[in-house]
Amino acid sequence: AQSVTQLGSHVSVSEGALVLLRCNYSSSVPPYLFWYVQYPNQGLQLLLKYTTGATLVKGINGFEAEFKKSETSFHLTKPSAHMSDAAEYFCAVSDRGNQGGKLIFGQGTELSVKP
């Protein structure tokens, strides 16, 4: 069975600092990998995804993530945090063999950005 672990339920950074949100997955075969962001009282918005090809994936709002098969990781980074990045971030996986199918989410990481 697939599972996702996000290390750290809450991360706090200063504005302009590096953002690093960690995600590790467990799956018998490399799955599709996603990062979603959820702002207060809003739906989930896709930041980026990895399906195939280049393992460094660039997304919206300056975020990127790197798929590392050997480490079963898909960590999310942003070089310089902005106040507007404060939100809840979810890592998710889905079954490659089912052309996607259901998403399995991690428990989420709340990002706070200090001025």
Partner 1 sequence: DTGVSQDPRHKITKRGQNVTFRCDPISEHNRLYWYRQTLGQGPEFLTYFQNEAQLEKSRLLSDRFSAERPKGSFSTLEIQRTEQGDSAMYLCASSLAPTGGQQFFGPGTRLTVL
Contact positions vs partner 1 (CB under 8 A): 4, 9, 32, 34, 36, 42-46, 49, 51, 90, 92, 94, 99-108
Nearer residue to partner 1 within complex by CB, 26 or 107: 107
Nearer residue to partner 1 within complex by CB, 67 or 90: 90
Nearer residue to partner 1 within complex by CB, 17 or 44: 44
For residues 8 and 23, what is the distance between their CA atoms, to the nearest angstrom?
10
Minimal distance in Å, beta carbon 2 to partner 1? 11
Minimal distance in Å, beta carbon 94 to partner 1? 5
For residues 15 and 92, what is the distance between their CA atoms, to the nearest angstrom?
26
Minimal distance in Å, beta carbon 45 to partner 1? 7
For residues 45 and 115, what is the distance between their CA atoms, to the nearest angstrom?
24
* Phi, psi angles (nearest 5°) of residue 97: -70, -15
Closest CA to 106 of 37, 30, 20: 37
Minimal distance in Å, beta carbon 40 to partner 1? 12
Q: Residue 21, Cα to own-chain centre: how many angstroms? A: 7
Nearer residue to partner 1 within complex by CB, 80 or 98: 98
For residues 71 and 24, what is the distance between their CA atoms, to the nearest angstrom?
8
